[in-house]
Amino acid sequence: MTERQVVTGPRRPRRRARRPATSDIDEQTRLGDVYLRGLMRTQLRLGLTVALSTLGLLAVLPVVFALAPGTTTPTIAGIPVPWLLLGAGVYPLLVGAAWLYVRQSERVEREFTDLMDRR
């Protein structure tokens, strides 16, 4: 009967366990602060962009009515068109801006989560 031999490879140093990136955020380290500030800055930029764009579009309507006096005379069902646009036409714009903001905000958060998972 022959003797058994155990064949092993060279010993490798053990890898350090990887810390999840979220632990930097949980432990409030400098790196975690950088991650959070980046996320908050992106969300703030998105919010300001959507808000200023919406306000800009809303501010254009009175300017158009003031600069083009012919736009104030037409009526629909006895109600002047500018009143209809400012009273009812604004809501689809606001709903669209809100929908856009939510979609983009979710995209930013998804990218942030992917970044944390890759690290």
Nearest-angstrom CA–CA distance, 111 and 97: 21
User: Tokens in use for 43?
Assistant: 């969300």
> Phi and psi at residue 44, in whole multiples of 5°?
-65, -45
| Upper half-sphere CA count for residue 101 (Cβ side, 13 Å) | 18
Nearest-angstrom CA–CA distance, 31 and 26: 11
Q: What integer pLDDT is reported at residue 11 of this predicted model?
A: 74
What residues are paired with 18 via a beta bridge?
none
Q: What's the mean pLDDT in 76-102?
A: 89
User: Tokens in use for 62?
Assistant: 């009175």
Q: What integer pLDDT is reported at residue 18 of this predicted model?
A: 65
Q: What integer pLDDT is reported at residue 49 of this predicted model?
A: 97
The string of pLDDT tens digits covering residues 17-75 is: 666 667 777 777 888 788 889 999 999 999 999 999 999 998 888 888 888 878 777 88
The string of pLDDT tens digits covering residues 92-115 is: 999 999 999 999 999 999 998 888
Q: What integer pLDDT is reported at residue 1 of this predicted model?
A: 65
Q: What integer pLDDT is reported at residue 62 of this predicted model?
A: 83
Q: What integer pLDDT is reported at residue 20 of this predicted model?
A: 67
